[in-house]
Amino acid sequence: MKTEEFSKKLVQSKIFDTYVAAVFFGTIIFFVLNADFYTPIEMIFWVVFVTILFKGLANIMLSLLIALFNLSNEQHRSEFQKATDDLDSLVNDLAIQEAAVQSAKTNNGENK
């Protein structure tokens, strides 16, 4: 469940789409500046090829990030929260017991 949330947030952030768009426009700028050395067909081919290549690399990075996502921190956090709740419960029970003892002592003192 946590991995799904992480992957959805990562995909919705559009960081990889921005990466691919930056590569696309960088490639276009490169070929515009070096237009004397390349034919238009070569430019179109390389722009499409480089864009597809970097889209594939972005998908590989995305899959690696999801695969290497570590759930142990979430597990430790949930275990810590459970232990904290248990301790709070025990402290509250102790306070109730102490109040009952004090109440019993007060009631016994008044009855004598």
Sorted by sequence, the CB contacts under 8 Å of residue 10 that are 6+ apart come out as 62, 65, 66
pLDDT, tens digit, for every residue of 40-91? 999 999 999 999 999 999 889 888 888 877 666 677 788 888 999 999 999 9
**Crossing angle of helices 15-33 and 40-67, rounded to 10°:** 160
Q: What is the pLDDT of residue 1?
A: 65
User: If we measure between CA atoms, which residue out of 16, 18, 24 comes closest to residue 51?
Assistant: 24
Average pLDDT (20-38) is 91
Residue ranges of the domains in the chain? 1-70, 79-112
Q: What is the pLDDT of residue 105?
A: 84
CA gap 68, 100 in Å, rounded: 53
Q: What is the reported pTM?
A: 0.57
